[in-house]
Amino acid sequence: MEHRSLGSLSVSVVGVGCNNFGARLDQGGASAVVDAALEAGVNFFDTADIYGATQSEVFLGVALGARRPEVVVATKFGMPIDDTHFGATPAYVRAACEDSLRRLRTDYIDLYQLHYPDDTVPIAETLGALAELVAAGKVREIGCSNFTAEQLREAKVAAGDGPSFVSVQNQFSLLDRSPERDGVLAACDELGLGFLPFYPLANGLLTGKVRPGEDPPAGTRLAAMPKERSAHWLSDEMKGRVAALLAYADSVDTSLLDVAFSWLLSHQEVASVIAGASTPEQIRANATAVREFAPGQLEELARLTA
């Protein structure tokens, strides 16, 4: 499998988002997904302290076991775990890192990411605490999530000569192309950052399993999602776009899943597509979903999803 760089890290272009661990998957299910990923050549696992009510990190650590040195583990901090565990103050950054290290059963985190900007804390203070963790060998590289282009530039300046973000993780897919429009991809080029898209399959709409005019299959994320959240994804506009993409995938004799992954990876800024998975079969499908587009196909996909 192809690898791309995130700072000093080399990550497989297909990764695993571990948000199902501890939520839809128990330890056995999480371990089966991890095993399948490693067998398929995937080396990048992305989790967060809030996933699965902190159990995602635990399950990932157990599943990796002695294979921990073979992989790149990314996790995040900052989103509220409870009423006292949240934010980006230096004291909390240090405490959150220790908690994640313990849950992951490791003594270092490859990519430690601020999950959401904390407007109450100057970014220079957060970066200072992260620099201490890097100097101590507890963190190899640092990243962020849900940052605007302006915030990325501000963070780069604030880092000075110290460690700076090597990645940003924002929503990006054929059904949400906002990073192209809001300047975040351009900022990645400017600042030398890798982009990690979350919701790369648009909550399952781009897997090909959700057909326009039909209810989401039982057991899927969309089927379990509260109606106030699923309304956006199941709107008539989204259904029309999905129908057009399904027709296009059929016309080029490939799956919608392959189209979704490959379109993202056609952007040089994208380092890895970290899709969630709940079964080994989904992992194997994701791992083989990368293909090259023929001339003109990118333009047609851009037209269909404009």
Distance CA 67, CA 253 (A): 38
Whether 20 has a pLDDT exceeding 90, the answer reads yes
174 to each of 30, 221, 260, how far by Cα in Å?
28, 18, 7
Distance CA 242, CA 211 (A): 8
User: Residue 189: what are its φ and ψ, rounded to 5°?
Assistant: -60, -45
What mean pLDDT do residues 177-196 have?
A: 98
Give the model confidence (pLDDT) of 258-296 as tens digits.
999 999 999 999 999 999 999 999 999 999 999 998 879
What mean pLDDT do residues 5-31 have?
A: 97
For residue 219, the model assigns a pLDDT of 66
| Mean model confidence pLDDT for the chain | 95
**∠ CA 203-208-211, rounded to 5°:** 90
User: Between these two residues, 145 and 229, which has the higher pLDDT value?
Assistant: 145
pLDDT band per the 50, 70, 90 thresholds, residue 40: very high
What DSSP element (H or E) covers 232?
helix 227-233
Distance CA 304, CA 251 (A): 13
Give all strands of the β-sheet with 14-17 in edge-to-edge order. 194-198, 165-171, 139-145, 109-114, 72-77, 44-46, 14-17, 273-276
- Token pair 């297909």: residue: 14
Residue 75's nearest CA partner among 19, 151, 131, 121 is 19
The residues annotated as belonging to the active site are 51
Distance CA 110, CA 142 (A): 8
Give the model confidence (pLDDT) of 104-158 as tens digits.
999 999 999 999 999 999 999 999 999 999 999 999 999 999 999 999 999 999 9
Distance CA 173, CA 202 (A): 6
- Contacts of residue 302, defined as CB under 8 A and 6 or more positions apart, other chains included, come to none
Whether 214 has a pLDDT exceeding 80, the answer reads no
User: Residue 96: what are its φ and ψ, rounded to 5°?
Assistant: -65, -40
What mean pLDDT do residues 149-170 have?
A: 98
Q: Decide if 270 contacts 195 (C-beta within 8 A).
A: yes
pLDDT over 70 percentage in the chain: 99
Question: pTM of the full predicted structure?
Answer: 0.95
Whether 220 has a pLDDT exceeding 90, the answer reads no
Q: Which domains does the chain show, CATH number per domain?
A: 3-304 (3.20.20.100)
